[in-house]
A and B are shown apart, each in its own frame.
Chain A
Amino acid sequence: MIELLDRAPCGFLTFAGDGIVVDVNATLLEMLSAERDKVVGQPFESLLTIASRIFYQTHLFPLLKLQSTVEELFVTLRGSDGSDVAMLTNVARREENGIVLYDAVMMRLRERRKWEDEIVRARRAAEEANRAASGLLSMMSHDLRTPIGSISGYCDLLIMGIRGPLTEPQLGDVQRMKKAAEYLLGLIEDVLNFARLRSGQVIDLDMKTLDTANVLMETEALIGPRMDQAGIEYHREGCSGDVRVIADPDRLQQILLNLLTNAVKFTPAQGKITISCARDGDHTVISVADTGRGIAADQLERIFEPFVQAKTASDPASKKGFGLGLAISRGLARRMEGDLTVRSEVGGGSTFTVRLKAPAST
């Protein structure tokens, strides 16, 4: 090596096409506490730790063969005293008198490695926690669903009088128990759905061309009584047989039911909920607009985060649920190659928009 390279503050090493080291600078020898003759003439691979040898064989070597150069790869060399010497490495191929040579430049990582270790540790811990949380959610929900299902079933037996007649107050109590059990089952279903979406499990989708009028008819049948009870005015605009959408019917209904339930929850009596359908280029958009209190700008994206609900301290009813509905709905919309977004301003109501693919023929 020329004197300049020997004095440079980084390691230089050249190995031949067969992997045998042909030259090395003094700096690298010093880093490895090694004599020149223990490095030159040896396979480059033999200077690496076992893990880095695997990485060399599975990544570095194939990449060098295919693209002749690699940059900023992390490898660990083994010092002659057995210590690990972490390096950031660039390697490039050249030819000299018809002979293939690979030149490697190596920067020793000391402080930076500590930070990188910390990043890797933190990421692993986060992944682990995430996995554990998803597993727990899913297990807990399964375990809860069965006994609550039994409670609901036995309530039905009592309500139907199969175990003998109930007095009026007893019947009222059992009906309230049944309602509470069903509410719990709904929550558990949300948690299971969410855990499935988050863990990336395949959700079977039965994508079909749907007529928005039909989809809404079924959804309205489910939500209509609650709107009447809450004294809310309901309008439907443009959702006819002509406006069609490609979606899984059950999943789309789940999304719309969630949006309408939220709208009912956040809209005061005498308020108005409008659902509208329209074609927009290759897509169909279905919007649910309410005249509720609206959502502050800093909350707009947060409401799609799991376990987050819009701040509604004054309204105890709105605290019901786990805050998973919108996270699930957006997840489902995206699985169907669409999206769910929101526009809102405080005092001016909110509009949630589902955007899904439209069939070519409409």
Chain B
Amino acid sequence: MGESVLSRNNVKVFGNGEQPMLFVHGFGCDQNMWRFVTPAFSDDYKIVLFDYVGSGKSDLSAYNKTRYANLDGYAQDVLDVCHALQLENVIFVGHSVSSMVGVLAAIREPSLFAHLIMVGPSPRYINDPPYVGGFERRDIEELLDTMDKNYIGWANFLAPAIMKNPERPELAQELTESFCSTDPVIARNFAEATFFADNRADLPKVTVPSLILQCSDDIIAPTSVGEYLDRELPQSTLHLLKATGHCPHMSDPEETIAAIKSYLSSATSAEIELAHQ
């Protein structure tokens, strides 16, 4: 089981620390999206990266429509990876939808996790007055339509691209690689599992402390959603980033790294203080 999960989910482990930091990508991309932030943690932590089944370089033949019809199947991937590597005391870092996947995993096996760090989380994307998620159902249906249209030209979308102007020198090594490749049908199912999810009722059940990284001007997770999460999640810390958009770990990795480090160091001092009391 262990070995097969590692190849099924294209698991990568590196870093010099003991405590694992598990970085989990969101909808639309794969583990590559973390490459701007992981180097900042690899001296002090064991970095674990993986692709959900159906994303990136995972084993597409392991995809099962029923299992991944909702976020529980994705939470099982997280737990499978934790078990396969026998991880303990995990700092879970999830982007976007994976924040809620982390919530589900932490409810099922709270003892595995030390912290949940949520980058641009939302427990529900569709408005449900008085709750404001930011979208109407028709917006999501239009998104599915946009994705379908892009499947028509999908071959191009997924074709390995020559990296002409890499934003980081270390990327220059990889002249040709296909990033964020996902099977189009699976991507559409993932979109449905993501944007039609409603995890509001799960939030109070979380016993693991969490950090909410809320971006400025993020259409996918508006500020009011970050505030809602902070109210509903026990032991949460809300941090408002200056970075705009939905991918602060890509648009402003420095600010994202600083926010995570500051949270972890204050959490560690609090734990030490508690231990001394």
A154 at the interface (CB under 8 A from B): no
Contact with A along B142-157 (1 / 0, CB 8 A): 1101111110110011
Contacting residues of chain B (4-38) with chain A, CB-CB under 8 angstroms: 26-29, 32-33, 35-36
B149 touches A116 (CB 8 A): yes
For B185, give the chain A residue with the smallest CB separation.
A127
A65 touches B247 (CB 8 A): yes
B36 to chain A, nearest CB (A): 8
Contacting residues of chain B (120-177) with chain A, CB-CB under 8 angstroms: 135, 139-140, 142-143, 145-150, 152-153, 156-157, 159, 161-167, 171, 177
Given A50-B219, A57-B245, A61-B247: A71 and B28 within 8 A (CB)? Answer: no
Contact with B along A90-130 (1 / 0, CB 8 A): 00111100001000000000000000100110011000000
Given A62-B247, A63-B180, A73-B153: A49 and B142 within 8 A (CB)? Answer: yes
B143 touches A74 (CB 8 A): no
A213 to chain B, nearest CB (A): 32
A104 to chain B, nearest CB (A): 15
B111 at the interface (CB under 8 A from A): no
B220 at the interface (CB under 8 A from A): yes
For A73, give the chain B residue with the smallest CB separation.
B150
Question: Which listed residue, B64, B135, B139, B247, touches A200 by the CB 8 Å rule?
Answer: B64
Separation of A149 and B16 alpha carbons in the complex (Å): 63
A92 to chain B, nearest CB (A): 7
Question: Which listed residue, A55, A69, A88, A202, touches B147 by the CB 8 Å rule?
Answer: A55
Given A49-B142, A50-B219, A70-B157: A63 and B179 within 8 A (CB)? Answer: yes
Contact with A along B27-62 (1 / 0, CB 8 A): 111001101100000000000000000000000000
A162 at the interface (CB under 8 A from B): no
Contact with B along A50-80 (1 / 0, CB 8 A): 1111110111011101111111111110000
For A115, give the chain B residue with the smallest CB separation.
B152
Contacting residues of chain B (222-264) with chain A, CB-CB under 8 angstroms: 244-247, 250-251
Contacts of B250 in A (CB 8 A): 61-62, 65-66
Question: Which listed residue, B32, B146, B153, B218, touches A51 by the CB 8 Å rule?
Answer: B146
A305 at the interface (CB under 8 A from B): no
A58 touches B163 (CB 8 A): no
Separation of A287 and B27 alpha carbons in the complex (Å): 47
Contacts of B143 in A (CB 8 A): 51, 54-55
B165 touches A68 (CB 8 A): yes
Separation of A61 and B244 alpha carbons in the complex (Å): 12
B152 touches A58 (CB 8 A): no
B245 touches A19 (CB 8 A): yes
B86 at the interface (CB under 8 A from A): no
B203 to chain A, nearest CB (A): 23
B241 to chain A, nearest CB (A): 14
Contacts of B150 in A (CB 8 A): 55, 59, 73-74
B277 at the interface (CB under 8 A from A): no
Given A45-B245, A120-B149: A93 and B165 within 8 A (CB)? Answer: yes
A270 at the interface (CB under 8 A from B): no
Separation of A283 and B135 alpha carbons in the complex (Å): 54
B83 at the interface (CB under 8 A from A): no
Separation of A321 and B178 alpha carbons in the complex (Å): 47
For B63, give the chain A residue with the smallest CB separation.
A200
Given A65-B250, A68-B165, A200-B65: A55 and B146 within 8 A (CB)? Answer: yes
For B160, give the chain A residue with the smallest CB separation.
A67
B266 at the interface (CB under 8 A from A): no
A77 to chain B, nearest CB (A): 12
Separation of A63 and B91 alpha carbons in the complex (Å): 26
A-side interface residues toward B, CB under 8 Å?
18-19, 43, 45, 49-55, 57-59, 61-63, 65-76, 88, 92-95, 100, 116, 119-120, 123-124, 199-202
The 6 A-B residue pairs whose C-beta atoms are closest, nearest first, are: A58-B28, A51-B142, A74-B149, A57-B246, A72-B153, A51-B143
Given known contacts A62-B179, A74-B146, what 7 new A-B pairs fall within 8 Å (CB)?
A18-B251, A43-B244, A55-B150, A61-B251, A66-B32, A69-B164, A73-B153
